């Protein structure tokens, strides 16, 4: 599956929002978005055209897709599932994205970014309810216990992230025991738990055309 391999800081600048794609660097004075808060490219500082309704909807979809580090196919499949479930499609979409294992290990503070979470999940550094799971798109359920494998607790990326977890904070729907490197899913997230500036209705409108 093709993946974007360029500078992720360009993605933040393109979406005009800090997406926290580089972990601790995003909190430092080295953050490219803070230093150059305008779109990338030769004419980035001169762009000022008003976007069409389609353009606004597309940018919102691109922003959320990049925030969760998904390909277009993965994002569309997730939207399709959200549309089939009961309830509000836009909210269903965000909840499904939050329930992905690569996002959950990020939210629990085991990793610095979702991309890093996907990498470490693929390399078997986490177990769920005592069983090995190496699928980043695995959807966690209420009551699941996610923990770092004992042999992986000395991994530098994981230990560094655990030291910085206080700054990011843990969402209310999750619970973390730093001493044992275990996290518990207390509930599914609700819309109020998702504080990033996302207008999910624009994505629903885009895919409904």
pLDDT one-digit tens code per residue, 157-195: 999 888 888 777 899 999 999 999 999 999 999 999 888
Residue 10 pLDDT level (bands cut at 50, 70, 90): low
Number of domains in the chain: 2
pLDDT score, position 43: 46
| pTM of the complete model | 0.81
Q: Is residue 32 part of a domain?
A: yes
Q: Between helices 53-67 and 72-84, what is the axis angle to 10°?
A: 100
Q: Is residue 3 part of a domain?
A: no
Q: Is residue 171 part of a domain?
A: yes
Specify the CATH number for the domain of residue 78: 1.10.1050.10
Q: What domain range includes position 92?
A: 8-97+197-207
Clarify whether residues 174 and 109 are in a common domain: yes
């Amino acid at each position: 599956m093709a993946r974007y391999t360029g500078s992720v800081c360009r993605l933040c600048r393109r979406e005009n929002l800090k997406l926290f794609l580089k972990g601790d660097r995003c909190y430092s004075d080295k953050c490219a978005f803070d230093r150059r808060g305008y779109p990338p490219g030769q004419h980035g500082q001169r762009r000022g055209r008003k976007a069409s309704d389609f353009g606004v909807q597309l940018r919102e979809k691109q922003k959320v897709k990049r925030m969760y580090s998904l390909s277009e196919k993965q994002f569309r499949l997730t939207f399709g599932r959200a549309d089939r479930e009961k309830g509000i499609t836009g909210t269903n979409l965000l909840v499904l994205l939050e329930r992905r294992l690569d996002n959950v290990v990020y939210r629990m503070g085991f990793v610095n970014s979702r991309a890093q979470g996907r990498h470490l999940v693929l390399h078997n550094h986490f177990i769920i309810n005592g069983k090995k799971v190496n699928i980043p798109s695995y959807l966690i359920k209420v009551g699941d216990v996610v923990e770092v494998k004992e042999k992986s607790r000395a991994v530098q990326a994981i230990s560094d992230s655990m030291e910085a977890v206080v700054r990011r904070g843990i969402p209310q729907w999750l619970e973390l025991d730093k001493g044992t490197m275990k996290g518990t899913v207390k509930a599914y997230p609700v819309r109020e738990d998702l504080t990033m500036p996302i207008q999910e209705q624009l994505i629903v409108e885009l895919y409904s055309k």
